[in-house]
Structure 1
Amino acid sequence: MRSARLLQLMLRLQGSRGVVAEQLAEEFEVSVRTIYRDVAALSAAGVPVWTESGPGGGIRLLDGWQSKLSGMTDDETSALMLLGVPSIAADLGRAAAVGSAQEKLLRTLPGPLRDGATLWQERILVDVPGWFGGTDDISALPALASAVLDTRRVSFTYRDRARTVDPLGLVIKAGTWYLVASVGGAVLSFRVGRIEHAVVEDDSFARAADFDLASWWAASRAAFDRSLLRYPCRVRLSPGGWRGLRDVVGEEAARVKPEPADSDGWVSVDLRLESEAVALSQLVGLGAEVEVLEPLSLRTAMRSVGEAMVRRHR
């Protein structure tokens, strides 16, 4: 993209005392004419760049001039616009700060980059909450965020039980906030909407240097999902049914190895799902691409659903 090349050209010139157009054209794999057009665009955007002829000349920037950016590309600056998710910033009590930071960032960009970043800001919206989720009381969130950032202990009531924890991080999933904290050597998660009477304590704590919030959360969610899979069943799937299995039963439940395909291309797999009722609702989504083999009660239930659908569609 041209805006990326303009920024790269500005940074290239910033670190040199003058470069001839032919050399820049070779480095950027464009024509000399394109380099001169880019120089004109930078100049129009307010970057103090010009060309000098003769020995020791070339394209250069005003002596001592430094851009306010350090190696950022147009993709990176556009991505920064997406960090200001309004709902998240508001939850954390940082909406005004995010807006101010974005304005300052935009003012530091040359015109073409500024236009590209503004376009992303105007046309991409991240809507975090789910469609039908309830609204939690997250009035404790700003205090919890302060405790997380300042590495200070926090006390609160959670499900009628008093807790004092070492807060390690905050996670938002499908519009719901969670506090991840260390309690008695164990790392647990607490739904922020159920936290009451949060008080940030004066004493700090030593955060484990090797704790990684993203890795812990992923492992915790996977372990929770696996703990729900207690109902064994055996099914036979068409090629299309095998491809669509993950979509209807979820990633954890679909982590199974199929048996060799039969002459029709169908495979048999042993699954573990949450319950018979959940298994029925999920497997029905595969329609005629699945056959339940075991247990008999689930097979019978699938047949009943199929027969009812036939009656209603005569």
Structure 2
Amino acid sequence: MQVHRLFEIVYILLDKKTVTAKEFSRRFEVSTRTIYRDVDTLSAAGIPIFTCKGKGGGISLMDTFVLNKSILTEQEQNEILLSLQSLRAVNFPDLDPVLEKMSAIFQKQGTSWIDADFSRWGSSRREQEHFQLFKTAILNKNPVTFDYFNTKGTESRRTVEPVKLLFKGQGWYISGYCRTKKEFRLFKVNRIKNPEILGETFRREIPDIPIDEPEYSADIKNRMTTIVMNVEEEMAYRVYDEFEQESIQKNKNGSFTVTFVLPEDEWLYGYILSFGNYAEVLLPESMRDTMKRKLEESLKKYHS
């Protein structure tokens, strides 16, 4: 405990320059006599620390003192602070003291320049609460039980040991060991309902093997299809948001021809239909026929 307090005294003085013994005693909940003993210990260890009495006095470090940070380049220091700031942006617990200490060591200020919100636009408060719940469960190694709806709409109650939050295919997933199925599985966060953290812990580590949703793992390769689609210029923002640059060809009339590969299934049909009348499938011919049939079936629903 004393070693931790000694280091923190140095970090605080690097940041605040001068602190009174009374302020230190309140912070660490020890007597001022203990603080002065800490000052003597630091001085004996070669730290240029000194005290000044009177108004405006207190405990200080020599202005020329800087902790040795030469093993890290300027870029490496910035990357460390960026990583810490990124973690703080997702509410990683107890991170502020660490960030303050590292900022003091590197003598850098103004590190609060990044923020992050991993919830999708328009997401409900409940979805954001689910994200925070799973983050807490992963950090504390708590199993979670929840209702889950797979891609076929089948509901089941699962108990999972979550080990990782994964962003894949424009959606958040929980990777973990499913006690119900007795194997590692991937669960899409927005298909999870009524999650509850269990009052126990587990000791399972992240496996080296890739994990996927079982619905997609068996026959996904057989359903992979190369699609060529024309998208009108009104959807330019979606083209550049959702497709790789090398798959986009801009046409003279302002429209785009995009080429991409995805498994042919109901999700893909729905995705293409989400472009409305601003997109047309050019190839393959079989998918053109499928999209035409789906549009005709949709139109029938609006006939009186």
Is this a same-fold pair by TM over 0.5? no
Using structure 1 for the length normalisation, give the TM-score: 0.44
Using structure 2 for the length normalisation, give the TM-score: 0.45
